[in-house]
Amino acid sequence: MKNFSSEEIESQYNLIKMLLAEPEKYRDAINAIKKDIAYMPVELKKKLEEENIILWKNLKYHSSWSLIF
């Protein structure tokens, strides 16, 4: 598996935060991320979890930074 640099992780993290800030506008992109969650780097998943940003497949947007049932 590829090792990701901290800059790559930070870039992906910032992109996800930006998309979640406007979920209606970026619904398709958010759904694409949820479909590919299995391929997300572990480092990025941990960083998102630290900020209570939870992305799981088949979930709906709930609050400004998290996705829940």
Q: Render pLDDT for 10-56 as a digit per residue (tens, 0 to 9).
A: 998 999 999 999 999 999 998 888 888 778 888 888 888 888 887 76
Q: How many domains does the chain have?
A: 1
Structure confidence at residue 61 as a pLDDT band (50, 70, 90): very low
Other C-beta atoms closer than 10 Å to the C-beta of 44 total: 18
Residues 6+ apart with CB under 8 A from 69: 59, 60
* DSSP element (H, E) containing 5: none
Q: Look at residue 26 and tell me if it is in a domain.
A: yes
> Which residue range forms the structural domain that includes residue 37?
6-68
Helix, strand, coil % in the chain, rounded to nearest 5: 55, 10, 35
Q: Look at residue 1 and tell me if it is in a domain.
A: no
* 19 exposure class (CB count in 10 Å sphere: 0-12, 13-18, 19+): middle
